[in-house]
């Protein structure tokens, strides 16, 4: 855990020190040289973030924001152990994995130990997109089939091969045409999907069977017409599709259907892995299944580009038997591996899985309380620190409250809390904060959301500005720079 020791004035001086240019110049240069398609939060009034500590980020003026959406800074922004591991290894050597290095094999062994057998062979890459691309390549070589089954609203990365299997992208008005070898199954959304609860006369468990049967139909057709399936790829919990939690039994039955059609099962853990669900290290474990290939990324390096594909010896052998050697310039380099090992250290030593379970349950319970108070909330769902709040204008018709969700995200930003919205109708508030998120942070998030929802009902309350609480120590203009530079090294402290 971290705590701040700087007075407000000194923090503002430091943020100015961390800038190379005024915000207005930064905006002009971005508009001039950075592609317009590149996403920018709050585009009409973007944030300039210059510092991060644990679950907080600071803008150039020194304002502090509670980060409720950054699942990349998994163990907290700028965790001292991660920073030290990267700095120390970078001062020694950073090269490719065609040379032996202890950090690489230590990381591979540690990752394998978190997974069920027979998942035991690692390929280190740079990003989740690259991991999913390699997973699909492994599946095609092993099965010699091409048909891929994906879920509606799924997103698996920005590479061309991944856009092909990501309806979240190719269903956009300007998106590419879906390849004929890609088959889209209904997302197992029991609130708004094809089969819902309690509208249908089925239990939640039977809904899992109904959704799985949709995949089964595709598998049997592919087996009959094309000789079999290449792969079924799905996030263990769907993120961009709106924080979807599959009903119990869903993946178990899907995996049976896929394997009967000679396909392999790919679990995309890029957004939900590394203990985020609280009860397990990997989200697929909550469905009591064992995939053939697991992909991981984002939180693995706490912001440093490192990712992995882990598969079975059988699939790895099929890849090796092609005679085409696999080489990745940066994948598995010692610096990336040292950082990933540091992340695993922190998850274990700071008991972040247990924290995700405890704080996540508290957050879910608080959100459920809001649901009873505010009719705008149609559904609350989640596991651990992966929570979604779906907004509707009418609970009976479940009409998406898209405009209201957009307003709430912007109002929360004004309250110095960063959240996002997603789902096919952009009406689901997403909470997936760094794992150091506390119960107090959850309370602040929910209490503020409560006030904002009250405003939307017309029951406007006076919103108290949340100030940064710090110790005040004298500082004058003469020694400001010296004190500032000294405190640059003291900003992070662990307790």
pLDDT tens digits, 100-125: 999 999 999 999 999 999 999 999 99
- H-assigned helices in 399-468: 402-414, 439-456
> What is the token pair recorded at 337?
């591996």
State residue 488's pLDDT score: 36
Q: How far is CA 494 from CA 2, 4, 66, 241, 446, in A?
A: 5, 10, 19, 36, 27
> For the chain, first and last CA: distance in Å?
6
**Could you tell me which of 304, 295, 359, 264 has the C-alpha nearest to residue 81?**
304
Which pair of structure tokens corresponds to residue 347?
Answer: 């998850």
Sign, CA dihedral 300-303-304-306, equals positive
Q: Which residue has the tokens 């005679």?
A: 323
Assess whether pLDDT exceeds 90 at residue 246: yes
Number of H helices, E strands in the chain: 15, 16
Q: What was the pLDDT predicted at 467?
A: 36
Whether the bond between 425 and the residue before it is cis, its omega within 30 degrees of 0, is no
pLDDT grade for 472, boundaries at 50, 70 and 90 = very low
Percent over 70 (pLDDT), the chain = 88
Query: Residue 288: pLDDT above 80?
Result: yes
For 185-236, the pLDDT digits (tens) are: 999 999 999 999 876 556 777 999 999 999 999 999 999 999 999 999 999 9
Distance CA 293, CA 310 (A): 6
**What is the mean predicted confidence (pLDDT) over 252-264?**
98
Integer Cα distance of 250 and 211 in angstroms: 7
Nearest to 4 by CA among 439, 471, 346: 471
Question: What string of DSSP letters covers 342-361?
Answer: HHHHHHHHTTHHHHHHHHHH
Tell me how far CA of residue 270 lies from CA of 275, 294, 298, 460, in angstroms.
Answer: 12, 9, 6, 40
Mean pLDDT score of the chain: 89
Structure tokens given for 40: 């920018």
Return d(Cα 419, Cα 64) in angstroms, integer: 14
- pTM reported for the whole predicted model: 0.89
Confidence check: pLDDT of 136 > 90:
yes
DSSP 149: E
CB 261 within 8 A of CB 229: yes
What tokens were used for 431?
């909470």
Residues 6 or more apart in contact with residue 344 via CB below 8 angstroms? 107, 110, 111
CA atoms within 13 A on the CB side of 323: 0
Phi, psi of 296 (to 5 degrees): -145, 155
* pLDDT for residue 484: 33
Instruction: Identify the CA nearest to 206 among candidates 197, 193, 215, 194.
Output: 197
Q: At what angle do helices 439-456 and 352-373 cross, to 10 degrees?
A: 20
pLDDT of residue 401: 97
DSSP strand pairing (420-422 vs 121-125): unpaired
Cβ–Cβ under 8 Å, residues 284 and 291: yes
Q: What is the DSSP letter of 53?
A: E
Q: What are phi and psi of 323, to 5 degrees?
A: 80, 0
Q: Is 58 helix (H, G, I), strand (E, B) or coil?
A: strand
Q: Rounded to 5 degrees, what angle do the CA atoms 486, 490, 493 make?
A: 175
**pLDDT band with cut points at 50, 70 and 90 for residue 6:** low
Mode of pairing for the β-strands spanning 293-296 and 56-59:
unpaired
Q: What is the mean pLDDT of residues 333-360?
A: 98
Look at residue 445 and tell me whether its pLDDT is greater than 80.
Answer: yes
């Amino acid at each position: 855990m971290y705590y701040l020791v700087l007075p407000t004035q000194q923090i503002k001086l430091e943020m100015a020190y961390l800038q190379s240019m005024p915000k207005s110049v930064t905006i002009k240069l971005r508009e001039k040289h950075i592609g317009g398609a590149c996403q920018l939060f709050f585009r009409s009034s973007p944030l300039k973030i210059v510092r991060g500590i644990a679950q907080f980020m600071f803008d150039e003026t020194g304002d502090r924001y509670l980060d409720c959406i950054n699942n990349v800074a998994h163990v907290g922004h700028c965790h001292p152990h991660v920073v030290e591991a990267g700095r120390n290894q970078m001062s020694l050597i950073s090269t490719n994995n065609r040379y032996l290095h202890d950090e690489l094999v230590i990381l591979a062994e540690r990752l394998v130990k978190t997974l069920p057998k027979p998942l035991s062979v690692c390929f280190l890459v740079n990003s989740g997109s690259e991991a999913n691309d390699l997973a699909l390549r492994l599946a095609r070589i092993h099965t010699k089939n091409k048909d891929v089954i994906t879920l509606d609203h799924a997103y698996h990365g920005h590479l061309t091969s991944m856009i092909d299997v990501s309806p979240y992208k190719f269903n956009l008005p300007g998106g590419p045409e879906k390849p004929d070898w890609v088959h889209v199954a209904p997302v197992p959304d029991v609130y708004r999907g094809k089969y819902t609860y309690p509208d249908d006369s089925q239990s939640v468990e039977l809904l899992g069977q109904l959704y799985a049967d949709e995949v089964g139909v595709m598998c049997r057709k592919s087996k009959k017409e094309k000789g079999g399936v290449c792969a079924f790829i799905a996030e263990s919990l769907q993120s961009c599709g709106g924080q979807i939690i599959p009903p119990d039994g869903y993946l178990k039955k899907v995996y049976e259907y896929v394997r009967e059609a000679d396909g392999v099962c790919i679990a995309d853990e890029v957004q939900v892995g590394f203990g985020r669900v609280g009860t397990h290290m990997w989200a697929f474990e909550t469905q009591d299944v064992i995939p053939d290939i697991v992909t991981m990324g984002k939180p693995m390096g706490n912001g440093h580009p490192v990712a992995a594909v882990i598969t079975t010896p059988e699939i790895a052998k099929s890849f090796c038997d092609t005679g085409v050697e696999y080489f990745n310039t940066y994948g598995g380099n010692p610096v990336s591996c040292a950082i990933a090992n540091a992340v695993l250290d922190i998850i274990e030593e700071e008991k972040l899985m247990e924290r995700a379970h405890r704080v996540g349950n508290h957050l879910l319970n608080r959100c459920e309380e809001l649901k009873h108070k505010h009719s705008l909330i149609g559904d609350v769902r989640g596991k651990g620190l992966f929570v979604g709040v779906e907004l509707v204008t009418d609970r009976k018709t479940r009409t998406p409250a898209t405009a209201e969700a957009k307003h709430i995200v912007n109002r929360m930003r004004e309250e110095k809390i960063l959240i996002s919205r997603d789902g096919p109708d952009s009406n689901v508030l997403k909470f997936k904060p760094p794992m150091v998120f506390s119960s107090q942070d959850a309370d602040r998030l929910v209490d503020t959301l409560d006030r904002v929802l009250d405003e939307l009902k017309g029951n406007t309350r006076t919103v108290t500005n949340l100030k940064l609480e710090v110790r005040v120590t004298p500082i004058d203009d003469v020694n400001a720079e010296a004190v500032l530079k000294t405190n640059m090294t003291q900003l992070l402290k662990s307790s």
